Chain A
Amino acid sequence: MSHTPPAGATAASPLHERIAAASGENPARCYQCGRCSAGCPVADEGDCQPHQVLRLVQLDDEAALHALQPWLCVSCNTCATRCPQQVDLSAIMDALRVEAIERGTAPAAAREVVAFNQVFVERVAARGRLNEGELGAHFNLRVHAPFKNLTALPGMLVRGKMRPPGGSIAGAVEAMRTRKEPQQP
């Protein structure tokens, strides 16, 4: 990609600069053709379409941080694959989610997605690996619905889809965090 996004965007920078810095993508490259929305499996499920989310970023409109669409994105990357301008929209969606969490602007309708994201990261951070049962339990507690989907549990246990919680990989996450990137020659 020819464009180098501004490296040091601050909280006071306009939205497109913050997103460019966080995602490594240049929102200005988008010429609003709509091929991302045309191929997006969840384009019509949210409050606006993927190309419109990107439009809000181009306009520095903070409404992008309140939009539901980024929370519906399943990161299938069809948008990035089809984009004639080679913009990775899923990376931009990622950056929007990160900032929405930081600023607390995620929409109410995305409450469960946000909770799932957080529980997922917390579990991995705590144990260094993921256990589906544990993830489910913590998620249910977080969204105040302790019995949600509980009836599916026995069947899943029988089929081996879910195992009892195992041990943790001691210090694995910390090791990953502190691991030095191999030096590029």
Chain B
Amino acid sequence: MARIGVFICHCGENIARTVDCSSLAKAVLGIPGVRFAVDYKYTCSDPGQQMILAAIREQRLDGIVVAACSPSMHEATFRKAAMIAGLNPYLCEVANIREHCSWVHDDKPAATAKSLDLIRIMVEKVKRNQELKPIKVPITRRALVVGGGISGIQSALDLANAGIPVALVEREPSIGGHMAQLSETFPTLDCSQCIMTPRMVEVAQHPLITLHTYSEIEKVDGYIGNFTVTVRKKARSVDLKKCTGCGTCMQKCPQKKLPSSFDAGLGQRTAIYVPFPQAVPNKPVIDRANCTRFTTGRCGVCQKVCGPGAIDFEQQDELVEEKVGAVVLATGFQLYGIGEQSEKMLKGYPEYGHGHIKDVIDGMQFERLASASGPTAGEIRRPSDGTVPKTVVFLQCVGSRDPAKGISYCSKICCMYTAKHTILYKHKVHDGKAVVFYMDIRAAGKGYDEFTRRAIEDDGALYLRGRVSRLYQDGGQVVVSGVDTLSGRNVELRADLVVLATAVRPQPDARTTAQLFSVGYDASGFLNEAHPKLRPVETAAAGVFLAGACQAPKDIPESVAQASAAASKVQILFSKSELEREPTVARVHRAAPPLYSICQGCFACAGACPYQAIEHEELKDRRGQVIKTVARVNPGLCQGCGTCVATCRNKAVDLDGYTDDQVFAEIAALGAN
């Protein structure tokens, strides 16, 4: 016979206001199997827990029900108390009489009666509860970082410096990401490359970091602590071991006029190329789509001139398996390409002529113009005719905060980089005029507002509060028709160059990445954190963490901070030798021969399982002959959702902690009343 104790919490006034707790405690004693019942003002408090401890010991209880708030609030608290008293924690259940009762009702007798029903249900469940033990999962102490921008580099270095081996995967031929493209960085104007390239070199030289450039994630298997990630190393056509990075191949390549994506289309590169001189690894790759050898079969000059014989036209993509315990996603962002929109939700800006007016460029193109390593060696020159522009107009919020064009969020970094652009421009073109059209200046950050004031006060940028309706070419100039709402006057300017501060957007394949790693994403395609405030680097997928602009628009300091946070979360995970997981997982029926299992091996459960937790298992007799192949649940992957239980035609699957027996007993308890 069961000996169950029931503890009814007043939750201050939260429950006691609408539920008569003391008469409830008396009524509960009438439920078969209940040996002890008491009500208390704050059961979760230390004296409340002591009361539970004492009752379990003195009354020799073999199960308890705490009637209180939602189990998501304090189930862990009460189960811990039960464990201290020597009771298996899974013999403690919570009846939710606050959210499910007192908060939503005002009729006291009815609410009290409902509370009694809720407790009756839980008592019937506890009677059938089994002792469960946490599942222990081994951990592979090795991490995967996806994305080799500043966030990925920071995470990888932090982890490697903590002694954890790291595999860093970057899809471009070099690590460095967007930060390597920037000229100088706000609010201190330190040179981006000068602070970035040493980090890149450190990654390349670190003994614990395995670098996969020009590689993409092909497949992800496994679960927290035990991921198997397949990485596709795209054919580089250059043998990295033989190549010395001398650069002769690039000098001799006849295909010289391809747009350089590193220079945001403003510069040119060869078909065999290194994206930029400080690239890591500083070894070339052949752009097969544009190489004459691959398009027509002729040429092959690079192979002839290569001393070490590193050019390999026959090279194939290679699949590498990385076994890791945790993943940091640092896949970054792209800019709103307002000239060529592919996504339906984005409407683009035909009225701004981007893509057909040559002197209308975006922020990243301006960065390349201002960069010492850029196509103009740091001189601000117009793309159309190479002259130095005397009037430059900057438009903020192009794409951002424009629901009509498909984006409602603020891109966060544009106010600051536009202020930086005006300063860089004025430093390079002293007699030039910089005009900014803005809606609001959002410069929240250390030294940020001072920086925008510096652009206005010291460097003489003219800030006009208003927006621009249209840009059009007139002669050699671009006419900007806008408004200054502060003076209430329309403004028509003739600009030599127009720079659009285009919105920060998720990578085009962010949704695919999210699906590969079972991470959520928002309506825009940014990856979702587990909790917007308290779990900002974790994701819904255990063991997968986020860093940088793949989660939301972020500047460099924020990206670096989040990258270090993600790295430290991985270290916390790796600080134990084994992982403990909730034992409420599904289990497929097993029995002694000759039955073995009532599972027939239809694997309908495998199709229904959202976590790929169903495995095939061959049942063998004592001579080792296969009797049948049946389903088995991998407890490391199972999240206890119960979908397989509902799917199974044979009732061969059951969920520990929520067995059919328990659930039907709960329903029957309600019906019996």
Contacts and interface: CB of A to CB of B under 8 A. Distances in A.
A136 interface: no
Interface stretch (A56-64, A81-89, A92-100, A150-158): A81-89
A39 B467 CA distance: 9
Contacts of B485: 32-34, 37, 49, 51-52
Given A37-B490, A82-B469, A49 B402 contact: no
A110 interface: no
Interface string B653-669: 00000000000000000
A72 interface: no
Interface string A26-42: 00000111110111100
A91 interface: no
Contacts of A33: 397, 439, 466-467, 485
Contact of B483 (A43, A48, A83, A85): A43
Contacts, number: 65
A78 interface: yes
Given A83-B404, A84-B403, A48 B488 contact: yes
A57 to B, nearest CB: 16
A38 B490 contact: yes
A84 B401 contact: yes
B620 interface: no
Given A38-B483, A84-B403, A84-B404, A78 B488 contact: no
B467 A85 contact: no
B483 A84 contact: no
Contact of B467 (A38, A43, A86): A38
A51 B490 CA distance: 12
B213 to A, nearest CB: 39
Q: Which of A34, A37, A51 has the most CB of B within 10 A?
A: A34
B483 A49 contact: yes
B489 interface: yes
A33 to B, nearest CB: 5
Contacts of B133: none
A44 interface: yes
Contacts of A84: 401-405
B483 A34 contact: yes
A125 to B, nearest CB: 37
A85 B401 CA distance: 9
Given A34-B467, A82-B469, A39 B403 contact: no
Contacts of A51: 483, 485
B470 A39 contact: yes
B363 interface: no
Contacts of A37: 466, 483, 485, 490
Interface residues of B, number: 22
A81 to B, nearest CB: 9
Contacts of A40: 469, 490
Given A31-B439, A34-B466, A38-B467, A86 B403 contact: yes
A86 B406 CA distance: 11
Interface string A13-34: 0000000000000000001111
A26 B488 CA distance: 23
Interface string B331-374: 00000000000000000000100000000000000000000000
B401 A38 contact: no
Contacts of B69: none
Interface in B371-408: 397, 401-405
Contact of A82 (B351, B397, B465, B466): B351
A100 B351 CA distance: 34
B399 to A, nearest CB: 10
B468 interface: yes
B482 interface: yes
A91 to B, nearest CB: 16
B481 interface: yes
Contacts of B405: 84
Nearest to B481: A38
B351 to A, nearest CB: 7
Contacts of A39: 469-470, 481
A107 B130 CA distance: 83
B482 A38 contact: yes
A83 B485 CA distance: 15
A38 B488 contact: no
Interface string B456-500: 000000000111111000000000011111001110000000000
Nearest to B349: A82
Given A43-B483, A85-B404, A86-B403, A35 B467 contact: yes
Contact of B490 (A43, A52, A82): A43
Interface in B394-426: 397, 401-405
Interface string B485-528: 10011100000000000000000000000000000000000000
B488 to A, nearest CB: 5
A157 B212 CA distance: 81
Nearest to B439: A33
A84 B401 CA distance: 8
A1 B470 CA distance: 25
Nearest to A43: B490
Nearest to B489: A44
A48 B489 CA distance: 9
Nearest to A55: B485
A111 to B, nearest CB: 24
Q: Which 5 A-B pairs have the closest CB atoms?
A: A39-B469, A38-B469, A34-B466, A84-B402, A38-B483
23 contacts: A33-B467, A34-B466, A34-B484, A35-B468, A38-B466, A38-B467, A39-B469, A39-B470, A40-B469, A43-B483, A44-B490, A48-B488, A49-B489, A49-B490, A52-B485, A78-B469, A82-B469, A83-B404, A84-B402, A84-B403, A84-B404, A84-B405, A86-B404
Interface of B: 351, 397, 401-405, 439, 465-470, 481-485, 488-490
Given A34-B439, A38-B468, 16 more contacts: A33-B466, A33-B467, A33-B485, A34-B465, A34-B484, A34-B485, A35-B467, A35-B469, A37-B466, A37-B483, A37-B485, A38-B481, A38-B482, A39-B470, A49-B483, A51-B483
